[in-house]
Structures are given as structure tokens and as C-alpha cells.
Structure 1
């Protein structure tokens, strides 16, 4: 495990023990990436900022629930912000945007991936994503970058729900293997 992952784990442990000053370095290290994830889902700067705020409140309250055996701290936090953004999208009663230019929506995948790829782990993630077949890679990006649900991905890819779930699961397993 590299130093950045390890330090994030230590900071989360400190937060769990009540050291609120440990939240600042976590925020400094993760907020811009979390904002990118929230923007990809919400397509609204104010709502994305609110989702990041909600996510950090949850991180502060749930830091003791982080389990390093289940993955890196950054991935755990990205899941929290993704869920916070999806909650906000649902609360607003808005459909999640598509990447259909005819509807005025533009895919944010390249920009979001470029921001993530600027980080060392991000470059490795991009290399691993590039090794996946097109369908699993697309399903993973639709789920984790664009925030689509499994049924929405199935509609987009014209694939049965079980196939979508299997595709994502197998793709994530391959990503995990590639990243280690």
C-alpha cells in the first residue's frame, strides 16, 4: 500500500477517534475529485458543492465504518459522494442527464477521467480501464462516472439487468486485479 493510501486510512482513523482537525487534510486531498464525481452526476455546480458537503458530513460521522480490507479510502469516499449526489438528484425529482447531444447534455467522462488521471493512481486506473473490453468499461463508467443505475445502464446498452450486473462485477474484479 502506498503512502497516500496509508495516510488517508490513518486520517480516517483519527477522524473516527474524534480528531476533527484530521478532516481538513482529507478535504484538501479529495474535494476536487469528489466535486468532479458530483458534477458528472448532477451537472449543477451548486448542487455538486452541496453533495460534496453532505459527503464530508457523512465521512466525519462514519469514518469508523471504513474498512481497508474492502478497498482504498479514496474509493470509499468516492462512493459516499456518489450516493450523496444521487440522493440530491432524486430529491430534486430530476432525471439523471444522458450524454445524448440531441437533448443538450454532454458527456463529462473525458474531463472527469482527465482530472482523475492527473493523479498517479488515476493514471493507473485509466490504463486498467483501457484494458477492459468496451461493454464492461462502458458499464462501469456509466455507473461510477455518470451515476446511472443498473436498469438505466441496461436500457442504454440494450442488455438484460443480470448481464449488466455481471458485466460490472467482472469488470470491477479485473480492475482490482490490474490495480494491485
Structure 2
């Protein structure tokens, strides 16, 4: 009888950097290691944004194809491995939302999707244990309204237009709140 599911080994920052380097060199074994160590976290990101398991699984496959093709561009001096991987997952899931709308299959999402920033962001690092506590602490230092807006934009994939409608404020006001919140968050994270 099998002893049951084995605990997943702790994701180690240095291991992921090494694996990404090997994937960049064409190592399928390293890609398999990355998949084993990160797929649950990346699936969570896709699922939070898409709210559909089947679609999230399809996007996760696209994420790992993208990782295979782009691993050679990963720069550990610019972001942590989980931040980089999470950003790819987030962007692929958001692209899928945009595709839904373009094909008329996403009526609930209304206006064209306005995503905060497609560049790697600090919020994707929340899935990295080492960075997560610091990010959550820094996020908690912001006023509640700003926390909620940033969480909804980056963790749930809501657009600025959707958030402005929910808050019943002009789009520019909402963007200013989030921009100021992100600036304070950056200062806290760098401190």
C-alpha cells in the first residue's frame, strides 16, 4: 500500500534559478522539476483570474510552453524565480480573459480589460514563501481601500474599469489610488 501523497519539497530559490538556467539550455528534466515544484502555485494564479478549472489547466499548459521558450531570458538580478514564473501565469490568464471578450464569450467582464501593468510585479512574489510575508506585511500598512483595490487588481485579475465601477469613483481617481499605493508598497519592500 502506498504511503499516500508525499509532501512537495520546499521550493528553494536557488534551485529554481538553477532549473531555469537549465531549461534555458534545453533541459527537459529541469522543466519537469520546475513543473513539479511550481505548477500548484501557478495553477492557483490561473484559477483565481479565470474562475474556470478547465480553462486554467489549458492556460497552465501555455505557461509552461512559454517558460520553455523564454527561460533563457530569466535574469535573477531583476526578479525572483517565482515572481517571474507567476508573472507569466498571470499574464497568460489575463490574455485568456481578453480573448474571451474578443470572441463575445465573456459578457460579465464588460469593457475592454485594462490591466494595471504587464511588467513583473511585486504581488506575484506573494507565492514565494520568502517574499510573501514581507509583501503581506507591507500591503497591510496601506489603508484598507487601497489594499482591497491592489489585491483585486493583482490577485483577482479585475480591471481598473471594473474596480472604478465597484467603488463608484472616476477611473482616474482609482488609478491614482493604486499608483500611490504601489509607490508606498515599493518603498516598504525596498526598506
The TM-score, its normalising length taken from structure 1, stands at: 0.74
**Which one of the candidate residues 48, 52, 68 is aligned to 1:40?**
48
Deviation >4 Å, runs of 4+: none
SS in 1 for 2:150: helix
Question: Aligned in 2, Cα 1:166/1:66: closer, same or farther, shift over 3 Å?
Answer: farther
Match of 2:164 among 137, 154, 172: 154
Distance, in Å, in 1 between the alignment partners of 2:20 and 2:146 is 31
1: CA distance, partners of 2:128 / 2:26: 32
Measure the CA separation in 2 of the matches of 1:117 and 1:83. Answer: 15
Where 2:77 maps in the other structure, the secondary structure is helix
Is residue 2:18 matched to residue 1:10? yes
Q: In 1, Cα distance between the equivalents of 2:136 and 2:157? A: 18
> Whose Rg is larger?
2
Q: CA deviation at 1:22?
A: 1.0
* Aligned positions, number: 162
Out of 129, 132, 146, the position equivalent to 2:139 is 129
Unaligned runs of 5+ in 1: 98-115
Deviations 1:53-87 (A, max 9, x none): 11111111111222333322211211111121122
- Check the 8 A contact 1:151/1:161 in 2, yes or no: yes
One of 106, 114, 119 as aligned partner of 1:94: 106
Q: Does 1:84 align with 2:96?
A: no
Structure 2 spans left out of the alignment, 5+ residues: 1-10, 110-125
**Do the aligned partners of residues 166 and 29 (structure 1) sit closer, same or farther apart at CA in structure 2, a change above 3 Å counting?**
farther
- Give the number of the structure whose residues are more often helix, by fraction: 1
Alignment partner for residue 28 of structure 1, among 17, 28, 36? 36
Aligned counterparts of 2:58 and 2:33: Cα–Cα separation in 1: 19
| In 2: Cα distance, 1:35 partner to 1:95 partner | 24
Over the aligned positions, Cα root-mean-square deviation in angstroms equals: 2.8
